[in-house]
Structure 1
């Protein structure tokens, strides 16, 4: 990559901001709109299993899907995504250019970091995480380098969705056998290769707060494996031993966030925010006016920056709602949109025509059942797991009432519901649901299509890691490996992946 390259015929690269093993970040100019932007370039051949063409193409598809999902999140604390796609061998993501300093540099310039600043940073990050987790999306790589402190003191979180693209099934290891993420900020369940959820981001938040308060991350080491081992087995040092002036409630909150077992952490980002509220600076006071002070948004919420007058643009007129399409016409339109990859629009149309179809044909009619199945599947494709879950549960209950709980369709609906629960971060509920459907899958497919029950068992093993039962997870994974080798042979990719994951877990325990 060189200065002056034009990406997608539009974005002219100007200056390299940073680079790593998977790609680069540039400042660039949008030639069409004449504005400065940031462009992240990813190389599929460097992250998709060592360069296999099929893996690279799958990564491209995941990249477009993830960008579409993350674009649904509307929050002032998130960087705005302008565009995404592929250009030659690169995937590109075009974002707003954010002025300011990243949180790592901000800490270095203001060490020791005032504890009220830490509280303000944490509160702003909780507001972002609450919006992100509601989608649901898990950031998976929250760290100071992915947080910008703007001149007005507000924070902007970067790289939302990028880790999800590289780690699509929430547990995938890279071809080197390491989990995706930054070891210093990695939760125990993520380090072990288990399922991740909102609780994983809360652990990373705890690491970040410990670093801001103490000047260093709670677990460091000379090797990545050594750092991950410490996350799993060592307790963090209480920050008041290093900074006695830190309030006790703040120290207690950091220790809760750093709990090894996800179930011992706060239940959600909203709960963390509420715990921070008593420690926040009082609103409305005169407050500081210097730039890059993260307490300013709480001292003077929405106050204009000194010597800077801004005028809000007029609100656009709300267009009139389009007339409701007839059911048959809407179905044809949905097929066309799905064929063009316009999933979000297809979801909106399906959601709007379901009530009309039920009124016209009856709730239990075949046409409504087909529409509801398509609606649930499209919601899942669009990453809207919270909306898909009740549809899947309804479909599963209706089908089980007609054909019995062991029916293949009923089991498939329950399996998809378990996937939604997993994506929503409800690890214990997802684990229970997968366990409930496993006997049916083994009965139906154990001989003819063993990959299906094997996939369910794989998810169970990852969720056992997510709920902190490492011993059971290892035993479960070992039993799955034996069965997979018996069916496929030891050289098949699936047993090979299982062996790498089990070896990684053993290394962590032995380090």
Structure 2
């Protein structure tokens, strides 16, 4: 491929940065979003393959690429896009600044790495594998060249799904006369060599080979030819690591040798177990000759108990001095910092020039460290640790404002992430204020139609919806959508995301037909642009199904949910939360159609899978059990239904609290069962308890509290206490009138 070639009219190839058996990797520029990316171009398919094989391979590539794109973890390389251009399959990934472990070993003249680095790399790779294995994804080609250590200390695994594609295409070599497909022989598990069943424990074996190499300077079976290496993996016990390097702590040797067990059953059970062992070993290890003891706290103000990549973090400007900052290479350019006084919208009007703030020019070292901390905050968010992420982003925002000014794009980027963490931790009103500040600052600095300005305004709309201010959210979404369509076109992913959110909000305004039509249009557009199995397409199909259900078109809703569940199982895996969520809605739809026996079986299977994947006390497991109990009742199996409701209620009370809405829904279901069994006195006591809880938490005029009082009045009627029932009905009617409910 020639230099500066443009792929799909969007990705401009700038510099070849790697070449291997699978193809080439280029540094490129995403012309649409103005960001640097890496583009992996797989080798063109040769004439030795027939058209059927090529068609199957292309579909396999799309499936593997979608799976890789769905992975969201700080330890896994982000896949932005994929496709085919002039017969070449390509992946667009985040551009990583750092060195892979093979390069680090070469830089170190094949000498082993420091003990602290080995432990840190092991811990981060184990964390990433724990995540991917939970998604039922096995890497199959873990090796030093596929593990990157970034300049901020983050470790990332690359090329998920690519190893299997390589095998299909035929890029892997074969041992003469053996019929054994060769991956990278130094890191293959015995079961891979023998052609046996391969699961997540094969990745653990490969990780053991990698750790053995970086700890000793050579792989465990560094023999003369490929066949000897494979025989070593299959039949030979590895030499203990301390035979190569006596100063290694015992726990490292023990863990690595356990990972290198010949049978999967002898290895650690999973990557989570491996992480626990690494943490325990790190906590109890005593320094040995030739190694320095770890400092009591991470350098630069990091907190005890946080991972090593938090080094250099502080809690505010006062904590920073130049002497505490980690110095990064002079060509370190990752991040948002640039010549921000010339703000250019790539597809918009002429640049907006702003005066430079009257403040000292910050040092490159300070900017680099702030970028590292910003990225660390993003990583915490990807792990779902939103409170910690918020603390990091607030600290970085304070320092960036001091160093760069309040309207600098970097400062606003940190403020935007602060708003995002507030939204994710349930502080919607605070998030709205933060996003409002960011939108105003970006409009001043970048212009009203700049993609980052629109992103902040779109988040404002989302938070307004969370606050129940759906009309204001509608206005905000409509305004952003007009700007996006004008600047990037109707089929741009950002435009489609805004239209999806607008469709969702329309349903909350009660405009169900409009919501359905818009969701259907977005789903068709996303199918055309991203593919039918892309997670974003399936999210919109899910919204289409929801709208159909709201319109009472349950047969169509059921089929759509089934289609979404099947596609998600294929693209994301059968145990992915999104797949399980679609299966739950299938149960809802079956129940609404009066097909309770089928719904019951649907929920039984879902409960079993939820329990296996997430545990018996997980809120989503309990939600599925609640659905199971409801359908037992619909089948008039009231004793079983009530027993299920009591059990779920007890667990929800313990996990969520006595007044949590889900707990109260289960408690009400107990009362329903008691009523159907004719035990009205007991039912009355439970209905009254639910009503009092809802009034205490939600207020006496809340619709749920009023519904509970109506339940209570119905119970009084059944007990022959008509006068009390009438009085309670009157109270409910009066409260509804006061609240504007009719």
TM-score range with shorter-chain normalisation? Answer: 0.5 to 0.7
Shift of residue 38 of structure 1? 0.5
Pairing 1:309-324 to 2, within 5 Å after superposition: 309=370, 310=374, 311=397, 312=414, 313=416, 314-315=419-420, 316=459, 317=462, 324=546
Q: Which residue of 2 aligns with 1:479?
A: none
Query: 1:18-73 CA distances to partner (integer Å, 9 max, x unpaired)?
Result: 22233111111111111111011113626xx9522211211111111112222222
Q: Which residue of 2 aligns with 1:212?
A: 214
Q: Is the 8 A contact 2:564 2:582 kept in 1?
A: no
Query: 1:207-239 CA distances to partner (integer Å, 9 max, x unpaired)?
Result: 001001110101123332221121111111111
Q: Which residue of 2 aligns with 1:82?
A: 80
User: Is 2:591 the partner of 1:358?
Assistant: yes
Q: Is the 8 A contact 1:50 1:175 kept in 2?
A: no
Bigger relative contact order, structure 1 or 2 (CA pairs below 8 A, ≥6 apart): 1
Quick one: which of 53, 56, 59 aligns to 2:57? 59
Q: Which residue of 2 aligns with 1:330?
A: 557
Shift of residue 364 of structure 1? 2.4
1:302 and 1:13, CA in 2 relative to 1: closer, same or farther beyond 3 A?
Answer: farther
Quick one: which of 195, 208, 226 aligns to 1:224? 226
Q: Which residue of 2 aligns with 1:394?
A: none
Shift of residue 302 of structure 1? 8.6
Q: Which residue of 2 aligns with 1:199?
A: 201
Q: Which residue of 2 aligns with 1:117?
A: 117
Shift of residue 244 of structure 1? 0.5
Q: Which residue of 1 aligns with 2:523?
A: none
Q: Which residue of 2 aligns with 1:27?
A: 27
- Unaligned stretches of 5+ residues in structure 2: 284-293, 327-365, 375-396, 398-413, 421-458, 467-503, 509-545, 573-577, 615-620, 622-742
1:340 and 1:165, CA in 2 relative to 1: closer, same or farther beyond 3 A?
Answer: same
Pairing 1:120-199 to 2, within 5 Å after superposition: 120-167=120-167, 177-179=179-181, 181-199=183-201
Larger radius of gyration: 2
Q: Which residue of 1 aligns with 2:92?
A: 94
1:251 and 1:35, CA in 2 relative to 1: closer, same or farther beyond 3 A?
Answer: same
Cα distance in 1, alignment partners of residues 15 and 156 from structure 2:
21
1:295 and 1:330, CA in 2 relative to 1: closer, same or farther beyond 3 A?
Answer: closer
Aligned residue pairs, count: 370
Cα distance in 2, alignment partners of residues 28 and 218 from structure 1:
37
Q: Which residue of 2 aligns with 1:13?
A: 13
User: Is 2:297 the partner of 1:285?
Assistant: yes
Q: Is the 8 A contact 2:300 2:312 kept in 1?
A: no
1:295 and 1:244, CA in 2 relative to 1: closer, same or farther beyond 3 A?
Answer: farther
Shift of residue 340 of structure 1? 10
Cα distance in 2, alignment partners of residues 274 and 256 from structure 1:
14
Q: Is the partner of 1:71 in helix, strand or coil?
A: helix
Query: 1:288-328 CA distances to partner (integer Å, 9 max, x unpaired)?
Result: 89xxxx98326567989751334432314455666733222
Pairing 1:374-389 to 2, within 5 Å after superposition: none
1:145 and 1:346, CA in 2 relative to 1: closer, same or farther beyond 3 A?
Answer: closer
1:28 and 1:285, CA in 2 relative to 1: closer, same or farther beyond 3 A?
Answer: same
Cα distance in 2, alignment partners of residues 129 and 8 from structure 1:
33
Cα distance in 1, alignment partners of residues 147 and 12 from structure 2:
25
Q: Is the 8 A contact 2:175 2:182 kept in 1?
A: no
Cα distance in 2, alignment partners of residues 50 and 255 from structure 1:
43
Quick one: which of 64, 69, 72 aligns to 1:71? 69
Q: Which residue of 1 aligns with 2:309?
A: 297
Query: 1:308-352 CA distances to partner (integer Å, 9 max, x unpaired)?
Result: 334432314455666733222324545887999996788755542
1:283 and 1:180, CA in 2 relative to 1: closer, same or farther beyond 3 A?
Answer: farther
Q: Which residue of 1 aligns with 2:651?
A: none
Cα distance in 1, alignment partners of residues 565 and 269 from structure 2:
36
Cα distance in 1, alignment partners of residues 159 and 16 from structure 2:
17
Q: Is the partner of 1:156 in helix, strand or coil?
A: strand
- Unaligned stretches of 5+ residues in structure 1: 380-384, 391-511
Most deviating of 320-329 and 11-20 = 320-329
Cα distance in 1, alignment partners of residues 75 and 188 from structure 2:
22
Cα distance in 2, alignment partners of residues 232 and 343 from structure 1:
34
Q: Which structure has greater helix proportion?
A: 2
Shift of residue 114 of structure 1? 1.1
Cα distance in 1, alignment partners of residues 190 and 212 from structure 2:
16
Query: 1:444-474 CA distances to partner (integer Å, 9 max, x unpaired)?
Result: xxxxxxxxxxxxxxxxxxxxxxxxxxxxxxx
| TM-score normalized with structure 1 length | 0.64
Q: Is the partner of 2:61 in helix, strand or coil?
A: helix
Query: 1:64-84 CA distances to partner (integer Å, 9 max, x unpaired)?
Result: 111222222211111111001
Shift of residue 145 of structure 1? 0.8
Q: Is the partner of 2:252 in helix, strand or coil?
A: helix
Cα distance in 2, alignment partners of residues 199 and 276 from structure 1:
17
Shift of residue 139 of structure 1? 0.7
Query: 1:235-254 CA distances to partner (integer Å, 9 max, x unpaired)?
Result: 11111011100011211111
Cα distance in 2, alignment partners of residues 284 and 362 from structure 1:
62
| TM-score normalized with structure 2 length | 0.45
Cα distance in 2, alignment partners of residues 136 and 150 from structure 1:
26
User: Is 2:498 the partner of 1:265?
Assistant: no
Cα distance in 2, alignment partners of residues 347 and 14 from structure 1:
42
Shift of residue 363 of structure 1? 3.3
Query: 1:127-165 CA distances to partner (integer Å, 9 max, x unpaired)?
Result: 000001000100111111111111111111111121233
